[in-house]
Amino acid sequence: MKSRTSFILGLGLLCWGIWLLLSQMRFFSHVQEQIYPFLILLLSGFLLLYGIRNRSFGMLFWAVFIFQLGLFYFLRNFNLIPYFSLDEYWPIFLFALGNGFLTLFVVFPYRWGLALLAGIFLYLGLWFGIQALDFIPTVLDFIFTHFVPLFLILIGIILLAHSETIRRFFGI
């Protein structure tokens, strides 16, 4: 298993190095911007199949994370969404982390910590994404600023309800 992983990692790094070398030699010119999202999407599909085949469900996290980044770059490079600068699109990474944790929670529904992490990263990705794009309607601003404490209290109550300590205390 270890030799297979090192083979896959070595092959991936070799291909990436060749890609970067050819790109520095201006071999690809403009085609590079259109191809790399497909390579990222292909990598995510490979990770998904590898994770399912080997029952390595932790790999699903990375498959979803990389898929979302590949999808973003695909949409951006083919002008389906505007071309943002790094200051504007870094929340995509938070949102991708949230979706990765959400996928793990779907696979392991008894692990509430994954749902909590998913909620936090999705919330932060959405919040910072809206702020980075300077798109904060008054209603959303009101909801985010006034209902976050209620949201946190609700999550805390749900986690406490599933806690073994609370169950033992009340004899449930």
Residue 3, pLDDT > 60, answer: no
Confidence (pTM): 0.62
Of residues 106 and 160, which shows the higher confidence score? 106
Domain assignment present for residue 135? The answer is: yes
Q: How far is CA 113 from CA 49, 94, 117, 144, in A?
A: 25, 17, 6, 22
Domain assignment present for residue 38? The answer is: no
Of residues 29 and 59, which shows the higher confidence score? 59
Q: How far is CA 84 from CA 75, 78, 79, 143, 150, in A?
A: 11, 13, 11, 26, 33
Of residues 21 and 109, which shows the higher confidence score? 109
Contact 70, 36 (CB under 8 A): no
Total number of domains constituting the chain: 1
The predicted structure's pLDDT at residue 163: 66
Structure-token pair, residue 90: 């870094």
Return the minimum-mean-pLDDT range out of 14-28, 57-71, 82-96, 102-116: 14-28
Determine the Cα–Cα distance for residues 144 and 130; give it in Å rounded to an integer.
Answer: 11
* High-pLDDT (> 90) share of the chain, %: 2
The predicted structure's pLDDT at residue 7: 61
User: Domain residues for 107?
Assistant: 84-172
Domain assignment present for residue 147? The answer is: yes
Largest CA distance in the chain: 70
Average pLDDT of the residues of the chain: 75
Of residues 71 and 138, which shows the higher confidence score? 71
Determine the Cα–Cα distance for residues 117 and 14; give it in Å rounded to an integer.
Answer: 34
Domain assignment present for residue 120? The answer is: yes
Domain assignment present for residue 143? The answer is: yes
Domain assignment present for residue 153? The answer is: yes
Domain assignment present for residue 41? The answer is: no
Domain assignment present for residue 106? The answer is: yes
Determine the Cα–Cα distance for residues 46 and 11; give it in Å rounded to an integer.
Answer: 13
* High-pLDDT (> 70) share of the chain, %: 61
**112-134 residues labelled b (16+ CB within 10 A) or e (exposed):** bebbbbbbbbbbebbbbbbebee
